[in-house]
Amino acid sequence: MCGIVGYLGSNHAAPVLLSKLRVLEYRGYDSAGVAVIESGRLNVLKAVGKLSNLETLLQKERPSATVGIGHTRWATHGSPTDENAHPHINASGTLAIVHNGIIENYSELKADLIAKGYVFRSDTDTEVAAHLLSHEVEKDGDVLAAILRTVSQMSGAYALGIVSQNSPDRIYAVNHHYSLTVGLGENESFLASDSAAVRQYTNKILRLAQSEIAEIRADGVRLFSFDGAESSREPVAVEASAYKIDKEGYKHFLLKEINEQPLVLRQTLSKYLSGADKQVNFNVDSFSPDIEGMYGVKMTDEEIRSIDRVQIVACGTAYHAGMVGKYVIEELCGIPVEVDIASEVRGRKLLGNERTLSIAVSQSGETADTLAAVKDAISNGSFTLGITNRPDSHLAQLTQNLIVTECGIEVSVAATKTYAAQLICFYLLAIYLAEKRGSITPERARQLKVGLNQLPGVVEQILGREEEYRRESLKLADAQDVVFIGRGFNYPTALEGALKLKELSYIHASGYAAGELKHGPIAVLDSSVPVITVLVPGKVYEKTLSNAQESRARNARMVAICVDGDETAPKTFDYFFRIPAVEELLSPIVTVVPMQLMSYFVADYLGKDVDQPRNLAKSVTVE
């Protein structure tokens, strides 16, 4: 979480820092701030809340400095206040630090510094680093040497950006099991925790290695390991990206991204299911030259046939995609699949061996818990496969096999189009593995591919029902608690529907396996509680309908996501979100769309911050 940026060159630093922070605002929006060095003096400007508050402050103050660092915060240690906002400074106000991650031993370090007479103004772990560094700088005035002594005392995974009056013509960056990218321009240099915020300005980038320090000047960069040894690496030339944040006429990014789903599905399908023979092929050219060669499923056919177990790790929406993946892989490949919430793998023994395929799903590719689980899988000797929207992410670097969702940047914090793309990738992967292992017939594979290719059109039809869905959705806006149920392939859809409604509207919602309702959750039902049921034709239709009837018998407000022409549903349900029928196995891609729209309409009606819901961040880089 949190985003770090830096600039030094001959232009005014503040506008550059601000535009880079805009790219990183998805990483947190509790507060934002910059520290610039103006005529040799440190000047720190920060504001609680959205980046626009900092923008207003900078417009008023108009700092003319050409060196500075900036930060956008997602609160971990200490609430979102001015005192806790970054950058943090030392007692004399001569150096400033921005920080991403957690300094795990900060309590001990803080106690030690307090004993030495340091006074703390914030509740953050970052301020510990500021005072500790200051303490070390005072010894000999050498900032780089002081950073080396400081990092040797700190534990945890973190990234830092540092400016100091002692070295006013440079920025220091520290990367310890995090992610930081330096960009090198014509007599100007950039720093950011996401390369997208560097590529706005230059196509020459250098990703910092684990446990590496960069001393950045306008005309170049020096790299040091934590033991002080200097190393050199040539920057990589990448495609400069015109990172565009544009709602293109939509009221919110979320609505735009929901509407982009047909395009995303088409793009992903055409990338991985192209060619006259319509074979699934993941080994395709990268669209990011700097990571060329990393894409694809590199396992040999023999290795694929050797797999006797699949494990999937992910968080949040990506976890729900993983659950659909489990059902689909088990169905088509006949291999047992376990799905784990990645944070639940921490502190536990992740079982696996060289016959295990360990799949990590992460839109950002930077989710700390997911990355930690991948490292466990690597140490088990398992095959690893990442599914991510960010080919330049940590996940992409860690995993042997990589499938990239073709979504473009997802700006809204709530995931929608990336979920659709993750599902498509799971379908394609399951078919790919099943064909290699001979667990489905060529005819079944063909039938599924035809079905997959029809999905973008089906989702388009659903999106055409927006107005109808809006009317039905607003009937639910007064609810305090909402229950989502589904079975089989659509149990994960129920979980995802509940997550979307919660995070967007702040209405309490829970998703359950429909058959599990009667084992306890049914106690919460009364006439005020909507029960949203995913009811599509297939193996579990009758049973799901029975579970819905049990809810109806408790006077719940019955809402169906059901297919056109279902004549049975009206006997049980009061409200309807009709969808075109598709094969049950493929239906999760379709059934989730009315839920996304429902959550959006309710949240917008209630006046919630749709694109940046409270307390959330798009990329969760702390454990």
Residues acting as catalytic residues: 2, 618
Instruction: Please choose, out of 49-57, 305-313, 412-420, 575-583, the segment that lies near ligand AGP by the rule CB under 6 A.
Output: 412-420
Which member of 24, 620, 621, 622 binds ligand AGP (CB under 6 A)?
620
DSSP string across 26-44: GG--SEEEEEEEETTEEEE
Which member of 188, 376, 392, 503 binds ligand AGP (CB under 6 A)?
503
Q: Is the peptide bond before 168 cis (omega within 30 degrees of 0)?
A: no
Strand order in the sheet with 309-314: 337-341, 309-314, 356-362, 383-388, 401-404
Strands of 348-486, DSSP E = 356-362, 383-388, 401-404, 481-486
Indicate whether 493 belongs to the interface with ligand AGP (CB under 6 A).
no
Please state whether beta strands 530-535 and 557-563 pair in parallel, antiparallel, or not at all (unpaired). parallel
Q: Please give the residues from 365 up to 394 whose contact with ligand AGP meets the rule CB under 6 A.
A: 367, 370
DSSP-derived letter for residue 87 is P
Shortest Å, Cβ 63 to ligand AGP: 34
The residue among 134 and 370 lying less far from ligand AGP, judged by its C-beta, is 370
Indicate whether 261 belongs to the interface with ligand AGP (CB under 6 A).
no
Indicate whether 273 belongs to the interface with ligand AGP (CB under 6 A).
no
Nearest CA-CA partner of 410 in 612, 229, 219:
612
Shortest Å, Cβ 459 to ligand AGP: 18
How many CA atoms are closer than 13 Å to the CA of 595, on its beta-carbon side? 38
Shortest Å, Cβ 371 to ligand AGP: 9
* Cα separation values, 90 from 113, 163, 247, 327, Å: 12, 11, 41, 54
Q: Which residues contact 151 (CB under 8 A, 6 or more apart)?
A: 174, 176, 213, 226
Shortest Å, Cβ 429 to ligand AGP: 17
How many residues of this chain interact with ligand AGP, rule: CB under 6 A? 16
Which member of 109, 129, 223, 415 binds ligand AGP (CB under 6 A)?
415
The residue among 66 and 362 lying less far from ligand AGP, judged by its C-beta, is 362
Which member of 98, 315, 337, 560 binds ligand AGP (CB under 6 A)?
315
481 burial (CB, 10 Å; 0-12 / 13-18 / 19+) is middle
Which member of 109, 208, 345, 414 binds ligand AGP (CB under 6 A)?
414
Q: Please state, in angstroms and rounded to a whole number, the distance separating the CA atoms of residues 283 and 295.
A: 6
Instruction: Please choose, out of 79-87, 345-353, 357-365, 512-520, the segment that lies near ligand AGP by the rule CB under 6 A.
Output: 357-365
The residue among 421 and 620 lying less far from ligand AGP, judged by its C-beta, is 620
Q: Please state, in angstroms and rounded to a whole number, the distance separating the CA atoms of residues 401 and 386.
A: 6
Q: Please state, in angstroms and rounded to a whole number, the distance separating the CA atoms of residues 261 and 459.
A: 7
Indicate whether 413 belongs to the interface with ligand AGP (CB under 6 A).
yes
The residue among 199 and 394 lying less far from ligand AGP, judged by its C-beta, is 394
Indicate whether 619 belongs to the interface with ligand AGP (CB under 6 A).
yes
The residue among 188 and 369 lying less far from ligand AGP, judged by its C-beta, is 369
Helix (H), strand (E) at residue 494: helix 491-505
Using Cβ positions, the residue closest to ligand AGP within the complex turns out to be 316
Name the residues that contact ligand AGP, by CB under 6 A. Answer: 315-318, 362-364, 367, 370, 413-415, 503, 616, 619-620
